[in-house]
Structure 1
Amino acid sequence: MPILHATNLRRAYGPLPVLNDVSLSIDAGEVVSIVGASGAGKSTLLHILGTLDRPDGGSVTLAGQDVFSLTDKQLARFRNEQIGFVFQFHNLLPEFTALENVAIPGFIGGRDEKAVRQRAAELLSRLGLADRQQHFPAQLSGGEQQRVAVARALINQPAVVFADEPSGNLDSRNAEELHQLFFDLRDTFGQTFIIVTHNETLAMLADRSITLRDGHVVKTE
């Protein structure tokens, strides 16, 4: 049973078509990479699958919900509860500690503050950052910041985590550790990851790799 199913997604910016009838299915617990040349439509597809943008046509069902049938307010709540994001540049808030950054989506979701903080601490410990919880982003290395971002993506136990070039700003050692982390989390939590990447090593490690070209899925392997 797919955790995510997209059918005939279309998106254009002005006269420029970016996605042309893209359809795909992702099973729970899969680590799937989306690859292709710059301009192929990878990030646009990720933003639509992750409900950050609406398509011009087509549908997305995620965790049993037809997401684009929701109002913007309903969709924001669904996104908070069911979707996690990891971006290339971490997007951590500099005035908050690592633990506070991880906890923010839980607070936004109205969850019990003590329980959220406890889960945030547990996630940071599991990700090797037990002694960095009270550090601010500027006091963390790039690899540590990205692990904080991964913990933040997991705080609400989402159905799917979307990652957009997550290792693109890391050196080779930290990139390799981050890639392994995705698979460890999948094995531990059954977490589903959909990852846009130019990193050939990560793409090859994934359970499946979906190749986009000119807004079309041209290969799945």
Structure 2
Amino acid sequence: MSLLTASNLRRAYGPLPVLNEVSLSVAAGEVVSIVGASGAGKSTLLHILGTLDRPDSGTVTLAGQDVFTLNDTQLAKFRNEQIGFIFQFHNLLPEFTALENVSIPGFIANRNEREVRQRAEQLLAKLGLTSRQGHFPSQMSGGEQQRVAVARALINQPAVVFADEPSGNLDSRNAEELHQLFFDLRDEFGQTFIIVTHNEPLAALADRTITLRDGQVVL
């Protein structure tokens, strides 16, 4: 059964079509990679599937919700509760510690503060960062910052995690560790990942690869 289904997505920026009738589905617990040349529409597709942008036409259903029938306020709440994000450059807030950065989405969701901090501590421990939970981003390596970003993406137990070039800013060793981490988290938590990547080894590891070319899925 599909966790996420996209049907006939179209998106253009001015006269430039970026997505043209894109349809796909992802099952719960799948690790799916989205690949394609620069300009193929990968990040645009990720932003629409992740509800950060709306399509010109088409639908996205996630966890049983037709997401674009929601208004902006409802959609922001749904996104916070059901979707996690991992970006290439971490996007950690520099004035907050690792523990605080991980906890923020839980606080936004108005969850119990003690429970949020407890889960944040558990996630950081799982990712080998117990000794770093009081450190600020500037005091951590790139690999450590990216693992903090992974913990933040998982804090609300989302239905799906979207990762946009997650290892693009890491050296080869840290990239390999991050890639393995996705599969460990899938195996332990049943977590679903949709990953946009130029990294061929990561794409090859995925359960399934979706290739975009000129705004369309290549079959």
Structure 1 segments of 4+ aligned residues over 6 angstroms from their partners: none
State the Cα deviation string for residues 179-219 of structure 1 (Å, max 9, x = none).
00000000000000000000000000000000000000003
Give the TM-score normalised by structure 1: 0.99
Distance 1:205 1:109 in 2: 33
The Cα shift of 1:149 comes to 0.1
Residue correspondence of structure 1 range 52-131 to structure 2 within 5 A: 52-131=52-131
Distance 1:124 1:3 in 2: 27
Residue correspondence of structure 1 range 147-158 to structure 2 within 5 A: 147-158=147-158
State the Cα deviation string for residues 76-121 of structure 1 (Å, max 9, x = none).
0000000000000000000000000000000000000000000000
Q: Matched residue of 2:10: which SS?
A: strand
Residue correspondence of structure 1 range 1-221 to structure 2 within 5 A: 1-219=1-219
CA RMSD of aligned residues (A): 0.3
**One-letter amino acid of the counterpart of residue 31, structure 2:** V
Distance 2:7 2:167 in 1: 29
Percent of aligned positions that are identical: 84
Distance 1:159 1:97 in 2: 26
The Cα shift of 1:143 comes to 0.2
State the Cα deviation string for residues 137-186 of structure 1 (Å, max 9, x = none).
00000000000000000000000000000000000000000000000000
Q: Matched residue of 1:86: which SS?
A: strand
Distance 1:218 1:115 in 2: 44
Q: Matched residue of 1:210: which SS?
A: strand
Distance 2:3 2:152 in 1: 21
Distance 2:2 2:172 in 1: 33
Aligned residues: 219
Q: Matched residue of 1:194: which SS?
A: strand
Q: Matched residue of 1:94: which SS?
A: coil
Unaligned segments of structure 1, at least 5 residues:
none
**One-letter amino acid of the counterpart of residue 40, structure 1:** A
Distance 1:137 1:106 in 2: 19
Distance 1:144 1:130 in 2: 11
